[in-house]
Structure 1
Amino acid sequence: MSSEKTLGTGAAEHLWRLSGRGVAAVGQLLLWVLEGIGRLLKPLLDKALAKIHGRPQPAVPLPSFGPYGTMIAPQAAQPAPTPRWMASWQRFFSSWVYAPVTGLLFTLAAVYEAGTNTDDLFSVQGAFAVAAALPLVWRREVPKPAAALVLGAAAASLLSGQAFLVTTMAAALWMLYLLAQTLPRASAGVLAVTSLTVVGVVYLAGDGLDAIPWPAAVAAVIGAIGLGDARRTVQTTAAEAREQRTETLQALGDAQRDQAVMRERARIARELHDVVAHSVSMIAVQAETAPYTMPSLTDEAKEGYAEIAHTAREALVEMRRLLGVLRSDAPADGEVTPQPRLDRIGDLLDQHRGAGGAAALSVRGTEHPLSATLELSAYRIVQEALTNVRRHAPGAPVQIDLTYHPDRLAVRVHNAAAGPAQTRVDGFPLPAAGGHGLIGMRERATMLGGDFRAGPAADGGFDVSADLPFRT
């Protein structure tokens, strides 16, 4: 007995899944037919759109040139603007009023059709027509309950012997299409079997569908459910593709940012190596020359100075050995001059003015000596900020403020024009903070235990500011 029950359950499950596959196959076939028709009509549609929009854009865009003779890569041709009536329809379709308005219009059409068939507007047929059409008003908010009301009213109308109404059947097919979009494939198969069973009962027990050949009714039901299932499949596939593309772009952006951080840290380490090596070399030289400049030193003091010089030399050797990898990727014609300090910011301003930009420097507070590391970081932050201005807002006026506080140096670079443009990767924008220049500035400020901020300013320009503490 149990084996027969298990066999029956397995056969029912198999029929359930088979019905779902059949509905999916019909829906996919209908989609192919519609796509074929669309391809055949595409030339006519293109001609109609060309007449609406006027002369079409050139297929191959030409390159343009910047203010300094640099060639700008051609942008892809932009699609033709959407006609006003089509844009209005898209806004109406996306708004919440679309379902109530269209549902009420469909209900009025049903009432009108029922009134043309009977003299009494408040007849049983009119009640069934309203019951089958009015739930369409809430089809977006509560699709399944609305579908149950529409389909139940349509079936009751046919089984009770009421005359066939086009609006009632259209509402039922519409709800089958919408309901199939919300159901998994197997459930869509069950919906198809149930709907065909109801159609069969109507043909056998009533005369509501006698005016329609049964193959046409079966094809309409299967077609509506199949199209709904195919639509759900297309939407699901497109959503999965968008999600995968977003994840890929996010991973690519993270990898680019990580690589930029590594490169900037390597660059900072090379520069700091030069600064520290210079200081340690000075210690070694002064310790070695101390016995010659101070003849009155005791033997113990001379041995101490010699030990200091020996330790400094060993530190230089170890530093060069540990940072050899960082120096190996430096360019062959790298800098051989001392690392820049704040007294060379004037050269940066002259370079910026020579490129066509306006730049001004303001120094506030009481100036006092700073460490070489802090001055190098401040110089590089100003240098990178000016480079970003020339790249993203050429010709924009720039104001550089250096403010000496009791415990820190505040650096601010502001350009009054539009801020840095966002970098785009395969049509998806990456935030401006993902640029390598901003990453390098942030790393320099963080290395000193300071704060770094960058973003659009209130006047539409762009602000770069850093607080660099004197002691960390």
Structure 2
Amino acid sequence: MTARWQHYAQNHPHAADAALIAVLWVLSGPVALYSSDSYAEGLGWWSALPLAVVASFVLLWRRPRPRTVLVVTAVCASAAGGVGYLLTPMLLAPVIAALYELAVQIPRRTAYGWCLAMTAMIVLSAVIGNRNGHPWPLAIINPILCLLLPVALGTAAQTRRAYVEAVKARAEYAERSREEEARHRVAEERVRIARELHDVVAHHLALANAQAGTATFLAHTSPHKVAPMVAQLASTTSSALRELKATVGLLRQPDDSDSPTEPAPGLHELPALVDAFTAAGLGVEVVVDGEPQQLSPGVDLTAYRIVQEALTNVTKHAPKSTTQVRLVYGRDRLTVTITNEPSAREPAPASPGDGFGLIGMRERAHSAGGRFVAGRRPDGGFTVTTELPILH
């Protein structure tokens, strides 16, 4: 019944207010009849009816102006008590409703302050108007208890409402956090997939393009060298397909039995990588400083991919230049530097997809806990440097 009434009151607030006013007037009006022997001499029982009407009707504005409504209802109750009416709970019903609404809307301490002030006024009027010898517990203690109760209930309702709103806010925040975390994970996964595919596909396609160009050139100058170059081109495309299959397999579900189990590439495959670029016409020199150390799989893969991407960029933008790959093993750091000399011809124009290689190298270095720097040299060449941690 209470739930149905709350639902009806929310959907029909004006009708609910009218019903409340009617009920309160019925409760407070008959008091004049019940206590008709308690009013002051010279006044009839009807003298309480206008007060009950005003106190009940003013409750229409209890939500927008709770303080004003409380004062009006308290004044009406004080007037009734001053002329000798016994302040019963029914006569105080409008004041009780106004106090409850005020306690729901304002802070607890302020609500009790208003309650004490209105209670003092009403009790004082009851003392002054008690000329018919009403028992003092009924004349004084009864109004005090009746007016403290709605404040306690109102502050409790306010506390419960604040608690429910806080729970809802926390639930909404948790839901938003889960959605944001899910979007963040999806974005990270997309970046990881894009980086892996770029490293595999871009390298082999650039190398195949260079080998195809070299084969075309040799077809006019040294036809007997075309066959070996075409064989290398076939080997490059086969490697591209094999690595692409392995990469896609790693991105599939871990319980997929068809996923490849080939080991990830690392610096141990650097000689084969250099040979492939050298065969495509790029001059590559590898310099190792310090004693090579065992690297973690993530750092090993990161170093290899950065060298691979840097050499791929040289092939695309400065194909005839000389490139040096320097590996410096420190106590706790591996420094990889790829430097190419200025190209003898104009650099190839940038295409819409250019720039993702540098972004991918930087992301790889940062994800491995390292640093990455890339930029043009004053003489026109280009340098890529990354520092990666060595875990002992």
Work out which of the two has the higher radius of gyration on C-alpha atoms and give 1 or 2. Answer: 2
Larger RCO, structure (CA 8 Å, separation 6 or more)? 1
